[in-house]
Amino acid sequence: MTGFSGGLPPEGAMFNFFRPKFPALKLTGPRVYIRPPAAGDQRAWLELRRASQGFLEPFEPAWPKDALTPAAYRRRMRRAHADWQANVGYAFFIFSRQDESLLGGITVTNVRRGVIQAGNIGYWIGEPHKRRGYMFEAVQLCLDFCFRNLDLHRVEAACLVDNAPSRQLLEKSGFKGEGRARQYLCIAGKWQDHDTFAILRQDARPILPRQS
């Protein structure tokens, strides 16, 4: 090994050396597949988030000043890995099967066990890939993971009250509306009302064709 004459290596090099290891898991649909993030996805993630900033910011928690830097990506990787290790959250990236390009992300968070057996899903799609049905496939793959791999009974989701595309996606995916939660999440720097949805293991939902 070269490049270090002593002491601790720079943060980026330390990250590469102690790189988080996610499970070797890949779930495949007709046009997309989802898998845990990897260090090698950093450039594609930064480029897609940068190109989609104006599109995404109104629907996400306020972006930090360094949101589009390698340091921000490393923080996300460490947090996602810690959640996987603790079995409380599971992050996936969404890729095109046609050209392997990064399309967006989908996560299972706040996994609770015991008498509830539930979790929440959230998602984002890069602006160049919106309204093409990619997220619909990703949601179905993620629900398969929730109900089969995690053995959950219930998966919950929420969207801003004026986010019609997200509402339509959830309803198409089999989620049922359960009401309006006042000031549910702090989005774009302010507490905002959300419409809440859930799907149970036994609820009818679309089934994607099996893939080889």
DSSP 6-65: SSPPPHHHHHHHT--------EE-SSEEEE---GGGHHHHHHHHHHTHHHHGGGSSPPPT
Give the pairing type, strands 176-187 and 190-200.
antiparallel
Closest CA to 124 of 138, 105, 108: 105
Task: Break the chain into its structural domains and give their ranges.
Answer: 25-200
User: What pTM does this model have?
Assistant: 0.88
With a cut of 90, say whether residue 80 has pLDDT above it: yes
105 contacts 93 by C-beta, under 8 angstroms: yes
State the fold for domain 25-200: Aminopeptidase (3.40.630)
CA 195 to chain centre: 19
Specify the pLDDT at position 212.
57
Specify the pLDDT at position 207.
82
Structure tokens at 161: 């009250």
Burial of 17 (0-12, 13-18, 19+ CB in 10 A): exposed
Note the pLDDT tens digit of each residue in 17-66.
456 678 889 999 999 999 999 999 999 999 999 999 999 999 999 999 99
107, β-bridge pairs: 91, 122
117: left (phi over 0), alpha (psi -120 to 50) or beta: left
Closest CA to 71 of 49, 42, 93, 50: 42
